[in-house]
Amino acid sequence: MQLKYTILYVKNVTQSIEFYEKAFGLERGMIHESGDYGELKTGTTTLSFSSRRLMTELGKSPGIPDVKSPVFEIAFETNDVSAALEKAKNAGATVIQDVREEPWGQTTSYVSDKDGYLVEICSPVGGAG
């Protein structure tokens, strides 16, 4: 078994995908013609988005993410955390934690996307950041 995708429930799929393209340099896989589902390429796993409206129609009750009380995070690894953080800020991300050197040898920073999801920007553990 392998992890195929993670789906974030968002207000507007196209706007969320456009944000991740600009903020993190991800490549669009597809957006369904309905606008209710889309994917970004991230290797063998996709980062996917579904509209909250569609999930409600399917009988789900999607919660609203709260960056102050997150239940998970998305992490993007890079060798230049500072530059990646700057790019995310320029795309409209909200800085939650500025660049910081961690005691385990990793450089980290955190932002919130436009839907309120927590996103970590980090170096490889023990790598340059």
* CATH number (domain holding residue 43): 3.10.180.10
**Does 49 lie in the same domain as 85?**
no
How confident is the model over 28-43, as a mean pLDDT? 97
Q: Is residue 62 part of a domain?
A: no
Q: Mean of the per-residue pLDDT values for the chain?
A: 95
Task: Please report the pLDDT score of residue 97 as a whole number.
Answer: 98
pLDDT in tens, 51-73: 999 999 999 999 999 999 999 99
Per the confidence metrics, is the pTM higher than 0.85?
yes
Tokens of 45: 């796993």
Q: What is the CATH number of the domain that holds 83?
A: 3.30.720.110
Range of the domain at 88: 74-122
Amino acid sitting at position 8: L
Give the pLDDT of residue 94: 98
pLDDT at position 93? 98
* Residue 118 and residue 90 share a domain: yes
